[in-house]
Amino acid sequence: MKKVIKYVLPVVVLLVIAVSVFKKVNINPNLSVGDRIDSLNGVYVYYNGGVSHTGDRNTAVDGYNLGITYQCVEFVKRYYYEYYGHKMPDSYGNAKDFFDPTLADSTLNTKRALEQFANPSKSRPREGDLVVYTPTLWNRYGHVAIVSSVSNDFVEIIQQNPGPFAAARERYRVLKDENNWQIVNPRILGWLRMPPYENIGDPI
């Protein structure tokens, strides 16, 4: 057993290091970090290369923290800031931190100043909702995206930093079970939404 550990452990360590490096490197020869690849309501999605690649901190003209370029969090916060004129009281945190599991469905998330809905929820997802995903084995920070369109059967999301070859937009089925709406994706914790008192759709 000791001999097995002696030979296996270095391989495992090297594999972990290789994966870590791989996730920071741009392996897509057709795009460069910082390229515009999509947009929603005039707010651009930028290409980030490897999912673990990090750039500089992006701040708005008034000093509000938008996040690290070109991570997923930076896009959703920039979208809410530029399109809605919304600033979160807590402007820091990883993607997974946007969803507070202690809150009941359809209550105010005070750290984000947004209404929070669980997946499933009594409230159907709407265009502009901020979707929050769980962490994974390879991404312990979670993920966030914006609902770009809604139909009777699906929602489409737009995202930044899904990976070197992944699309900026994805579609998920939506199911209604009695009074609850569910986005069919086991990673989606729920979604956040502008409260009624905000000037929705009034850009700054």
- Quote the pTM value: 0.88
How many CA within 13 A on the CB side of residue 139?
22
Res 190: pLDDT = 98
Res 3: pLDDT = 59
Res 136: pLDDT = 92
Res 23: pLDDT = 72
Peptide bond preceding 203 in cis form (omega within 30 of 0):
no
Q: So what's the architecture of 27-193 in CATH?
A: Alpha-Beta Complex (3.90)
Res 7: pLDDT = 53
Q: Kindly list the averaged pLDDT for each block of 10 residues, start to end, along the chain of length 204.
A: 54 38 82 98 97 96 98 98 97 98 97 98 97 94 98 96 97 94 98 77 43
Report the distance separating Cα 10 and Cα 110, nearest Å.
46
Report the distance separating Cα 201 and Cα 82, nearest Å.
10
Res 138: pLDDT = 85
